Amino acid sequence: MKEDILTKIPDIDYREAAPEIDDKEFDKVIRSRRSVRVYRDEPVPEEVIHKAVEHALLAPNSSNLQPWRFVWVKSPQKKKELVRACLGQSAARTAPELVVALARTKSWSKVQKEMIHVLKENDAPKGAFAYYEKIVPLAYGQGPFGLKGLIKKIVIFFRGLLKPTPRGPTSQADMRVWAHKSTALGCENFMLSIRAQGYDTCPMEGFDEVRVREVLGELGQEKGSEVCMIFSVGKRADNGIYGPQVRMKKEDFFIVI
């Protein structure tokens, strides 16, 4: 096998041992996280949101390009407008706090440059530089009018006839999937973290994206940036959860081959 950046195990001294964890506590976080639609009229300490965002930003993400942004809409006027953009739904209307998660398809090139800078400072192996200097722009760049993506698609097709070849992203539509996917990984960390800290969330997709962008001002107008989901945050009211959690039978969703 020809060795490359993916297959070669680099000769690095770094060691990071895993701590002991009480997984019963984790199980409680997962099982007690429910979408809460009515909140108590009780404030959320600022540090709870800050810690949850820190946890969100530690999620794995595609090539570590961190294509996400979390916007905490604290201003009472903007929050009121955001509730309206969330169709006035109870999960937003009764919530002490609202946070918008944005998925960004174009911010990766800035992070790419920062990554190269970090690698330089840390005397990283050659392969890592090659990855960020050559592979990343090739993989994620789609060019003007998506032309680079189109050319990639053709080259990939023929190369793929001969050997295993990554198939995308080769379009702006693929980049949307790409950005939302990584952002959602962060979003799940956010929600679980809020739960672990004794508070609740509801992830919302029922909103008017045009109006949400208006509420966010410049942040909402960033090119290639889309609203991934909006969280409400607070403490569940007694009637905050509308019923037991429903999931269809596991065999439909988990298959061993």
Beta carbon nearer to its own copies, 192 or 233: 192
Minimum distance from CB of 233 to its own copies (Å)? 13
80 makes contact with its own copies (CB under 8 A): no
Judge contact between 211 and 85, C-beta under 8 A.
Answer: yes
Q: How many CB atoms lie within 10 A of CB 44?
A: 20
Q: How many CB atoms lie within 10 A of CB 157?
A: 12
Minimum distance from CB of 13 to its own copies (Å)? 9
In angstroms, the first-to-last Cα distance of the chain is 27
7 makes contact with its own copies (CB under 8 A): yes
Judge contact between 202 and 33, C-beta under 8 A.
Answer: no
Task: Show the CA angle centred on residue 115, arms to residues 112 and 120, nearest 5°.
Answer: 130
27 makes contact with its own copies (CB under 8 A): yes
207 makes contact with its own copies (CB under 8 A): yes
Minimum distance from CB of 202 to its own copies (Å)? 8
* Binding pattern for the stretch 91-110 against its own copies, x by CB under 8 A and - elsewhere: --x-----------------
* Binding pattern for the stretch 39-78 against its own copies, x by CB under 8 A and - elsewhere: --------------xxx-xxxx-xxx-x-xxxxxxxx--x
CA distance 103 to 181: 8
